[in-house]
Every structure is written in C-alpha cells, then in structure tokens.
Amino acid sequence: MDIFKKQSVERAKIYQQNPKVESILLAGSVSRGWQDEHSDIELHIFWNDPPTDDDRLSPINKVNGKILSYHPYEDEEWSEAYVTREGVKFEISSYLTSSVEKMIEDVVSRSETDYDKQCIASSVYYGQSLFGEEKITQLKNILHTYPEKLAKEMILENLDFGNRWHNRKALLNRQDWLMLYSVICDAAKKLLGVLFGLNKMYVHHPAFKWMQNSIALMEFRPDNLYERLTEILSGKPENSVAALTDLIDETTLLVEKQFPELINSEKKKRLNYSK
C-alpha cells in the first residue's frame, strides 16, 4: 500500500468515529491510480446531518494538521485543506448525503450537463469506498450506465463553439493574442466536452485536469488527440488555429457516425463558418 492510500485509510478511521458520517470516499487522482509527486489526497465525507466547525476541525487537530484553507458552506459543500506533519496535503469536501443523491439524480435522470454536478458523479463512479460501502455502492449502481440523453446533451451543448471561435481568423490577422489564446482554450475545452459525451464519460474536472489520462480512456477520438492538443496549446498560434479546426472537423465526423440525427446541414454550416 503506497503512502497516499495508507494515509487515506488512516484519516478515514478518524472521520468515521463521528456518528453523523454516513460514508467516506477516496476521490481524485489517488482513487484512479493517477497520482504523482505533486498530488494531494481528496476525501469526500458524506454526512447525515450538517457538520459543525468542531466536526470539521477535530479530525485535523487530532493529527496536528496545519490548515491551509477553510471555507463555510457554499454550493452544497463544506471544504477545507490541510497538510500533515509528514507533508501530505488533504483536501476535504463534505456534503450531505441527500445533496449528493440529488446531484446524481440531476445528472442521471434529468440529463443535466452541469460540470460541478458531473464532478461529484465522476468522483463516486471512479472513487474508492473507505467507509459506508453500502451507500457508496448504491450510488455507484445509479451511475453505472451513462444516460444516452446526457451524451446527446453534452454533444449538442459543446458543439456550439460560439461567435468568438468564428472570429478566430480575424483575431489571428490582427495579432490580438490574448483574446485569441482565450478563444483557443475555450474551443479546446468545448471539444473535450463533446468527446466526453460521445464516449459516455462523466466530466471529472471543469478544466479537464489529467487530460492525457482521460483521453487514453476514450474509445472514440481523433487520431493522436493528446499529441495534437499538446501542440495546439503550446505551438505557434497560426498553426494552432488550423490544427484545432481540423480536430473539430474530425470530431464532428465521429459524432455524425454515432449520432447522425445530431448533425444537420445547418449545424455543419455553422461549424464551418469563420471570418
């Protein structure tokens, strides 16, 4: 057992002593075996009742942790971060179990594309149960089959690259670099949003962190996608615009093969428009 997993188990034993805690989930890169020397440990604590400040601070004080951040309840989450004496950083996200159930229902049953809710869904889908396995398993079972309607909603929402992308050539000719790079990054994230939907993968991070690992899991993707995106995001802007346009075209063809009803002539015309 590596240091990350060992410390996760040890911390979970402290939190599970609180009778208000229903389950504990190891989330983030450690849960998926993606961690590196820069990684921290993400724990999701699911509570039956709202945690008090003492509920949140007591587990940190027991290990003499140094608090790095501490946030009040916001957007259905309590969050704090601390570092142990061994130098391991923990990020703790606390939720009411009922809130997690509602967010998962919104994603699975209502096909909501909201990335914050999908991140919770992804954490549960890929996460490892450290306590309260029955509840975690129940939630995992709900998420097991990625909804077809959600896939289509993700594709349609993200195939709209927006007016700024249509102005990419003008921005390039004007050498309006700051706005152009913003447009390129936004379009790249839209492209990944399409591919996550096409491959029926819950979005795990709003900025698509661990891009290389995620792309490796995709069955449907343009050839050499990671290498090409890397070049787009680090190469000359004139080449990046052309290369990203090609990737969008290739991705659109992949969508058309899987969901031909989503790509009509008007959609193609808009995708191909630029000035």
The answer on pLDDT for 273 being more than 60 is: no
Q: DSSP per residue over 42-54, as a string?
A: EEEEEESSPPPHH
Provide the pLDDT confidence category of residue 218 given band limits of 50, 70 and 90.
very high
The predicted pLDDT at position 274 comes to 58
pTM comes to 0.93
pLDDT in tens, 141-165: 999 999 999 999 999 999 999 899 9
- Phi/psi region, residue 49 (left: phi>0; alpha: psi -120 to 50; beta: rest), is beta
Q: What is the mean pLDDT of the chain?
A: 95
Structural contact between residues 159 and 255, judged by C-beta atoms closer than 8 angstroms: yes
Q: DSSP per residue over 228-273, as a string?
A: HHHHHHHS-HHHHHHHHHHHHHHHHHHHHHH-GGG--HHHHHHHH-
Helices (H) and strands (E) in the chain, counts: 14, 6
Rounded CA separation 53/212 (Å): 38
pLDDT in tens, 14-49: 999 999 999 999 999 999 999 988 899 999 999 999
Q: Please report the beta strands in 55-213, taking only residues with DSSP state E, as ranges in sequence order.
A: 66-74, 77-83, 89-96, 128-131
The predicted pLDDT at position 104 comes to 99
Residues in contact with 8: Cβ distance below 8 Å, sequence separation at least 6, in sequence order: 26, 30, 41, 43, 130
The highest-level CATH class for domain 3-143 is alpha beta
Domain ranges of the chain: 3-143, 148-272
Structural contact between residues 231 and 246, judged by C-beta atoms closer than 8 angstroms: no
pLDDT in tens, 105-131: 999 999 999 999 999 999 999 999 999
- Fill in the amino acid letter for 164: R
Q: Please, which contacts does 68-77 make with residues 24 or more away whose CB atoms are closer than 8 Å?
A: 75/116, 76/103
